[in-house]
Amino acid sequence: MHRALSIDELRGIARRAVPNFAFEYVEGGAEDERALHWNREALDAIRLIPNTLVDTSKRHQRITLFGEESSSPLIIGPTGLNGMLRYHGDAAIARAAAKAGIPFTLSTVSNMRLEDVAENAGGRQWMQLYVLKDRAASRDIVSRAERAGYEALVVTTDANVFGYREWDRRNYRAPGKLTLRSMIDVARHPRWMLDVLSHGVPWFDNIVDFLPPEAKSARTGVAYFHKLFTPDISWDDIAWLREAWPRKLLIKGVMNVSDAQRAAAAGCDGIILTNHGGRQLDVCVAPIEVLPGIKHVVGNRMTIIVDSGFRRGSDVVKAMALGADAVMIGRAVLYGLAAGGEAGVSRAIEILTDEIDRSLGQLGCRTLVEVQPGMIR
């Protein structure tokens, strides 16, 4: 794991380390996985034009994010079910992020309670909120996050209707019930079984208080779980959240200029341009493609973060050149988690930050501020 040279190599190790059903849960996109591929295509299509003969011996990738310094423009995005890759995976990622000096975002559907992660990890922690059908339950998550000291609330708005991930579906014969083939595959991963299953099947500990008794085990709960989510989320929810949450508020799921303007008018501090890593709308444009237009209109009013498809430090530099304030990463970190727990996550962050640093130097830039739109082809 320590010898992995790239995120793609970590991905290869991750694939071998966990049963296929867990790997495919991480890897899969929706339906034909077009958005998943377009995310990469859009990033690959961007080329950079370097400056030369600039003394880059003193360079750094620090940024200021919501008034505080971050060691790098990376933010760890929220991902549910991290405990399926490693026991207490949420805390492992949060600790690695804290050590690296970058923010970590905990998912609503984490396998650890938000209070336990906050206590366990230190560093800058953000809380992601899926607005649940039960608004009282959502309010409860918000006040728990406030009490636990979370710095920002990230409201995910692109999963009002769940994406159909066919790879993932094929591994279960019914909700929560693996196929025989998947069970045999599990048996082929004794180290994973010892790490993950010996503590019991990972469950949504963060929201377990809202589940009825019959939904409190993994087997029975998955079917019920979908009933928690609701397609009726709207700007009204942002209005009450703005009142309820006193710290930084971000919407994760804005993809066009008019929604970005509306987010600014609603008092949001930031937006995250995303297509959920290609896991929701399968024909969705890549977030990197809508970044310049949105930046142009609301860039001086809100922090703009982008995600989906980032696998190299040079991808991150491209986003910064196009005006992003920071970049969120999802799978790159999960590959690290599956490959080597906390150390694997640290390795993923190290690979990306080394690549950002090299890209800066090779572009003739000393800081990310010097990476300008004029360098984009």
- Tell me which of 206, 308, 353, 359 binds ligand FMN, using CB under 6 A: 308
Nearer to ligand FMN, 152 or 365 (CB): 152
Residue of the chain from 86, 310, 344, 355 that contacts ligand FMN (CB under 6 A): 310
Chain centroid to Cα 81, Å, comes to: 12
Residue 122 C-beta: closest distance to ligand FMN, Å = 21
Q: What is the CA radius of gyration of the chain?
A: 20
Q: Residue 34 gets which letter from DSSP?
A: H
Distances (CA, A) of 286 to 211, 239, 264, 282, 375: 35, 28, 22, 11, 20
> Helices 331-362 and 7-17 sit at what angle, rounded to 10 degrees?
160
Pick the stretch among 166-174, 293-301, 305-313, 357-365 that binds ligand FMN (CB under 6 A): 305-313
**What residues from 49 to 78 belong to the interface with ligand FMN (CB under 6 A)?**
77-78
Alpha-carbon gap, residue 298 to 270, rounded angstroms:
10
Based on the shown chain and the rule CB under 6 A, indicate whether residue 19 belongs to the binding site for ligand FMN.
no
- Strands 152-156, 248-252: pairing is parallel
Residue in 2, 189, 276, 296 annotated catalytic: 276
Does the protein bind ligand FMN through residue 125 (CB under 6 A)? no
Name residues contacting ligand FMN, limited to 99-118 (CB under 6 A). 107, 109
Q: Which is nearer to ligand FMN, 12 or 190 (CB)?
A: 12
Burial environment of residue 177 by CB neighbours within 10 A (0 to 12, 13 to 18, 19 or more): middle
Task: Assess whether 276 carries a catalytic annotation.
Answer: yes
Give CA–CA dist 310/262, Å, rounded.
Answer: 27
Q: Which is nearer to ligand FMN, 123 or 330 (CB)?
A: 330
Strand ranges, E, within the chain: 63-65, 68-70, 74-76, 104-106, 125-130, 152-156, 172-174, 177-178, 248-252, 270-273, 303-306, 326-329
Region of 5-13, 188-196, 239-247, 301-309 interacting with ligand FMN (CB under 6 A): 301-309
User: Which of 307, 315, 342, 355 is close enough to bind ligand FMN by CB under 6 A?
Assistant: 307
CA–CA dist 97, 233 (Å, integer): 31
The window from 48-56, 134-142, 169-177, 329-337 that contacts ligand FMN (CB under 6 A) reads 329-337
DSSP sequence for 98-114 = HHHT--EEE-TT-SS-H
Site membership for ligand FMN, residue 364 (CB under 6 A): no
Q: Interface residues for ligand FMN in 188-207 (CB under 6 A)? A: none
**Is 83 one of the binding residues for ligand FMN (CB under 6 A)?**
no
Residues in CB range of 213: below 8 A, 6 or more apart: none
Q: At what angle do helices 313-321 and 287-298 cross, to 10 degrees?
A: 30
- Residue among 182, 274, 303, 353 that touches ligand FMN (CB under 6 A): 274
Q: Binding residue for ligand FMN (CB under 6 A) from 309, 336, 341, 344?
A: 309
Residue 122 · residue 144 · CB < 8 Å: no
Can residue 347 be called a binding residue for ligand FMN (CB under 6 A)?
Answer: no
Site for ligand FMN in 135-194 (CB under 6 A): 156
Among 73, 80, 270, 336, binds ligand FMN (CB under 6 A): 80
Q: Which residues belong to the active site?
A: 276
Binding site for ligand FMN (CB under 6 A): 25-26, 77-80, 107, 109, 128, 156, 252, 274, 276-277, 279, 307-310, 329-332, 334
